[in-house]
Structure 1
Amino acid sequence: MPFAVLAVLIAVVGLTWQHRTDDEAPARAAGCSVPGSDLALTTEQSANAATIAAVARSRGLPPRATVIALATAQQESRLRNLDYGDRDSLGLFQQRPSQGWGSPEQVQDPVYAAGKFFDHLVEVPGWETGDLTTVADAVQRSAFPLAYRQWTGMAESLAPVLLSDQPGQFSCSFTPAAGVAPVAERAPAITDAVRREAGTPTLEDGVVSVAGAGWPEASWAVAHAERFQLTAVVMDGWRWTPGSGWETTPSAFALPLQLHLD
């Protein structure tokens, strides 16, 4: 193609792109971050990480369990709930139904998969203090037993934030989807997830309240906010929205955790 023609085409493409960006509001990049860290995750990764932390917390396991699980899932699936893998491996931890980890449907359920990982983890002698990659491989029996070590820093940065009882430690942003289903259609999924991972939900006027929940549950809600298209998360004088993140909204009394659907 002659250079002059190529230059014209490039210019036209450039003008077309500029015209579109001028006319359309740019979509907010979806993602989650840890204050004071360069760690960045997608909202999908964050939701899965928050689920792993929630399962560990529900079992009363120490933070070390969450660190090991996060590093393992990052290595196995990049914290994605995969429907494929080596041979019959599936899910966050690439667990194999043929090896007794559960049915294909079960190992692709992040709550179940995390629970099975922890079932095996706590049976590893010295797992609380042992080398992360050695302990993880004792559970996974990987063909690459040293690979988990590279994610130690990531897991050690993320786990304390997801488990923290301090305000606003974890935040995500995204552009709300167009044509979101009515609250009545979305409510069953969010209340079921809350019941399994965060506490006992109460739904009223488009708001799911979780009595007795703390900041770890609030971080869990923010991590899952895009999945359930939450418009706000409110916790004890703080308010999170997908556009502004966490902001203080001082109140005269401590409210239960609230997840707003509209």
Structure 2
Amino acid sequence: MPEPLPPTRKRRGRLLRFAAALVVLCAVAGYLVVQYVTGGPDGPGCKVVSGRAGGPSYEFTPEQAVNAATITAVGTGRGLPERAVTIALATALQESGLRNISHGDRDSLGLFQQRPSQGWGTPKEILDPTYAAAEFYKHLVKVDDYEKLPLTVAAQRVQRSGYPEAYAKHEPDAEVLAAALTGSSAATLTCDGRQESTRAAATDSGAGATGVQEAETGPDAVRSALVRDFGRDALETTAAEVGGKASPSPTPTPGDGRTVTLPVRKDTSPGAGRSLTERGWQLAHWAVANSSALRIERVSYAGRQWTAGNTDSQWRPAGGETATDTVRILTAR
């Protein structure tokens, strides 16, 4: 009959088993975090690169791209600088992973984990990405000299988080995203354009992208989403027309019924200070970011062209068309 193990060896064995279980638990947790951030084994689907050689890049999902484009459009629509957009994007990356989630700590909801009980709005309002972004900016601009403050300080004065330093790790990704989505960095954002049910994923709660849900595909969906992100006067201020209808642009779009033409005008929002081409690249990158949700097949601007299925973050030469006053968006059949 074997002798019983000494107490010290028993304790050592229990510690080893506990350590092994802890390693497995950490591995599972890490896997779940990766799946949460990347959108699963088929993610990410989108990529943004720096406008300078050797700069950083960031890969993200179509769902994250839609939300990032909305946050950016709301900020620029208020005439806010690129720095404000960077702060907002870094905050949303930390708070929700740029996902419009319907849960969180206590009653926290949405992209910025805003709390109804703290006066941020009703749950329905907070789960509307456009509303949530507007509320964030409304509080940000009340922070004195926020543009000059470290990002963590500016974000914390809005959010009052228990972990204020956590925002800092997202600043590099937020900077390249903001540069692309404000248009200051040209031809730097692409998505693979998979025609999947991103509309359902874009808001975990089912709220927010109402324009997309009402007009599921085609030019009407693009027009509705433009209004959603850039405001009700977006079609009027951009003079957007669908192919086949009378167009105020110099060269009418062929009547294929699939093309949305956006004549580009310089952003005249108070304090915007952005050029014509920056406005054009904002609209072009916005269309690519929404390509899966809106079934967009091709985007052309300033002699460059993005086509669904291109995932190497390269905009190709468009072949002869170099105008900077028009963005053309071709939707799926």
Q: Give the TM bin, normalised by the shorter chain.
A: 0.7 to 0.9
* Uncovered stretches (5+) of structure 2, i.e. residues with no partner: 1-40, 50-54, 198-214, 244-256, 265-278
Question: Judging changes above 3 Å, is the alpha-carbon distance between structure 1 residues 134 and 37 closer, same or farther for their aligned structure 2 residues?
Answer: closer
Q: Does 1:49 align with 2:68?
A: yes
Q: Which amino acid aligns with 1:115?
A: A
Q: Classify the secondary structure of the residue corresponding to 2:147.
A: coil
Residues 303, 320 of structure 2: 8 Å contact kept: yes
- Residue in 2 aligned with 1:191? 223
Q: Which residue of 2 aligns with 1:34?
A: 48
Out of 117-126 and 191-200, give the one that drifted further.
Answer: 191-200
User: C-alpha offsets along residues 182-216 of structure 1, whole Å, 9 cap, x if unaligned?
Assistant: xx752443211112335313223122222225111
Alignment of 1:95 onto 2:161 = no
TM-score by length of 1: 0.80
Residues 1:249 and 2:315 are matched in the alignment: no
Task: Please tell me whether residue 171 in structure 1 is matched to residue 186 in structure 2.
Answer: no
Q: Is the 8 A contact 2:258 2:331 kept in 1?
A: yes
Matched to 1:207, the amino acid is: T
Q: Alpha-carbon deviations, 1:27-77, whole Å to 9, x = none?
A: 986511123534211111122112111111111111110111011000100
Matches for 1:1-262 after TM superposition, within 5 Å: 30-35=44-49, 37-165=56-184, 167-177=186-196, 185-187=216-218, 188-198=220-230, 199-200=234-235, 201-204=240-243, 205-212=257-264, 214-244=280-310, 246-252=315-321, 254=323, 256-262=326-332
d(CA) in 2 for partners of 1:97 and 1:77?
16
Between 106-115 and 29-38, report the one with greater CA deviation. 29-38
Does the Cα contact within 8 Å between 1:28 and 1:173 map onto a contact in 2?
A: no
Judge conservation of contact 2:216–2:294 (CA < 8 Å) in 1: no
Q: Is the 8 A contact 1:32 1:41 kept in 2?
A: yes
- Mark the CA change 1:185 to 1:47 in structure 2 (over 3 Å): closer, same or farther: closer
Paired letter, 2:242 = L
Alpha-carbon contact 1:176-1:242 (below 8 Å) kept: no
Q: What is the CA–CA distance in structure 2 between the aligned matches of 1:174 and 1:253, rounded to whole Å?
A: 24
Q: Which runs of 5+ in 1 are unaligned?
A: 1-26, 179-183
Residue 252 of structure 1 and its aligned partner are, at CA, apart by: 4.7
SS in 1 for 2:164: coil
**Mapped partners of 1:30, 1:131: distance in 2:** 29
Name the Cα RMSD after superposition. Answer: 2.2
Runs ≥4 residues deviating over 6 A: none
Greater Cα shift, 118-127 or 42-51: 42-51
- Report the number of matched residues: 231
- CA change 1:96–1:189 in 2 (3 A) is farther
Q: Percent identity?
A: 42
- Mapped to 1, the partners of 2:135 and 2:228 lie a distance apart of 15
Deviates more, 1:146-155 or 1:190-199: 190-199
Name the larger-Rg structure.
2
Give 1:223 deviation, angstroms. 0.6
